[in-house]
Amino acid sequence: MDPFLELKQRDPSAGYKSVGITVITAALGIINWFELRSLLLVLLTFFGVKRSSWQGIDNLSFLFMGVVWLAYVFYCQYYLKKKAEAKQVLQASAMLLAIQLGILFVCNFLSHVLLSVPFETYMLLFLIIEGVLTVILGWFARRAARKRVLQ
């Protein structure tokens, strides 16, 4: 088949949808990046790593997590565009957001538990919202995938 005809027959809004959702996941990914960095510093404190090596570990991990974040953004764009063309963008974006919110929940929870910091009211509310959204979005994505398989 003619590649230009195939390109013309594609849904033009698929690209816009995927870019819009990728921006949201990228922003949440940056938040995860910094939360993972702070969790790493908490883990260094918890396991008693020498303070003189913290800066090297922090710089190297920051660089590594930045590369992982960039690769994740490119993957999200590709994945969401494919799902948007297949009319499954809602399920795919729900799963990606559930994974990211789950990472954010685990990072925040472990940071407080390992440092033995008491939970303040707003932080506890934030953790509950993260956990509930993770469960709801994950459940929705799995249910939609299961429904699609059964059809």
Please state the pTM of the whole predicted model.
Answer: 0.82
- pLDDT reported for residue 118: 80
pLDDT at 144 over 90: no
Mean pLDDT to the nearest integer, 31-49: 90
pLDDT at 19 over 80: yes
Structural domain range at position 18 = 3-150
Least confident among 10-14, 31-35, 130-134: 10-14
Count how many domains the chain has.
1
DSSP the chain: --HHHHHHHS-THHHHHHHHHHHHHHHHHHHHHHHHHHHHHHHHHHTT--GGGHHHHHHHHHHHHHHHHHHHHHHHHHHHHHHHHTT-HHHHHHHHHHHHHHHHHHHHHHHHHHHTPPPPHHHHHHHHHHHHHHHHHHHHHHHHHHHHHH-
Structure confidence by residue, pLDDT tens digits, 113-138: 888 878 788 888 989 999 999 999 99
pLDDT at 59 over 70: yes
**pLDDT band (50, 70, 90) for residue 17:** confident
